[in-house]
Structure 1
Amino acid sequence: MAEAPLLAIRTLPSWLLGRAAARGRALVAAALAAEGMKMWHHVVLSAVRDLAPVAQADLGRSVGLDPKDVVGILNDLQSAGLVVRAPDPTDRRKNAVSVTEEGARMLARCEKVARVATDELFAPLSATERDQFMGLLIRISGTDG
């Protein structure tokens, strides 16, 4: 009897984590798109809220994006009225970015729909299993949560 196709691959934890991550990203991306937001735009907007006022270069480093990509995303966010740029009070050669009131409202909506999408991903797990799984993911990801 022949072995199921790709059984050796499909049983690798890295492959399974990748599949779960792809499904999670797809669910969250679809939820954000319904709010008119793209994934990286949401990441940058969230980082601006958490770090504001933040210099563009520092923002890029904090989310791991190339500076030119950060500029493009910030241009989009500013055009939508979600962020503002102003001279950095500590270094007038730099721009500091902050979230507008509309940006804060958009973030609240996006965080809500992202949680709902994540709940859909985790639906097969009990609350205890979710907590345990998150703890394990944090441990193997090398982050502190």
Structure 2
Amino acid sequence: MEDRPDPLHDSPSYLVFELVRLIRRTSAELFPGERLRLPHLLVLSCVARLGPLSQREVSEYLRMDAGDIVGLVDALEDAGHVRRRRDPGDRRRYALEATEDGRLFLAQSRDGRDRLNDLLFAPLAPHELDQFKALVLRVLAQHDERFTAPPGAASGAASAQRTEIAAPARRRASS
């Protein structure tokens, strides 16, 4: 049998799919038994930075299914990282707020995320990793305004600012 190159290796979407699978496997190996995974951290980070937010606003901002958000918030609430309170602007809904424990958990989990990234991206030189991130951000920004740099922002500093929320904040301000 002839050893031919795999045509999927020419597909960027396939390569990204395999990279996500590698990230999940490596994360599970690095943090066995960890109850809160990246989706939990995404929700917690969103609420900590932008809250209080309704579950619907979190769902819209993260572009995650609302049903999935409920389970993630339940786990975060059980862990003491998020609190549900009645929204003073609309008593029919709940507003999510990060607790002090949740903010501390986010800060403590930073070391683990850094270790995971160091392990995954060890083959890349620092300038290659910067280039990789810039290219991924450029692709994401083409399809998702959360990843676009604010006007006049420097590229390095802007990456930390790219995920600032717009729509839910505008809705709350107009109510």
Same fold? TM cut 0.5:
yes
Which residues of structure 2 form unaligned runs of 5+? 149-161, 163-175
TM-score in terms of structure 2 length:
0.72
Name the SS of the counterpart of 2:93 in structure 1: strand
Name the SS of the counterpart of 2:46 in structure 1: helix
Greater relative CO, 1 or 2 (CA 8 Å, sep 6+):
1
Aligned AA for 1:2? E
Identity %: 33
What is the aligned-residue RMSD (CA, Å)?
Answer: 2.1
Q: Which has the higher mean CA deviation after the structures are superposed, 29-38 or 8-17?
A: 29-38
Aligned AA for 1:88? D
Segments of 4+ moved more than 3 angstroms: 28-36
Aligned AA for 1:123? A
1:62 aligns with 2:95: no
Q: Distance in 1 between matches of 2:31 and 2:73?
A: 17
How many residues are aligned here?
144
Which residues of structure 1 form unaligned runs of 5+? none
- 1:98–1:50 Cα change, 3 Å: same
TM-score in terms of structure 1 length:
0.85
- 1:76 aligns with 75
Alignment of structure 1 residues 126-141 onto 2, 5 Å: 126-141=125-140
- 1:75–1:23 Cα change, 3 Å: same
Name the SS of the counterpart of 2:108 in structure 1: helix
Aligned AA for 1:22? R
Aligned AA for 1:104? R
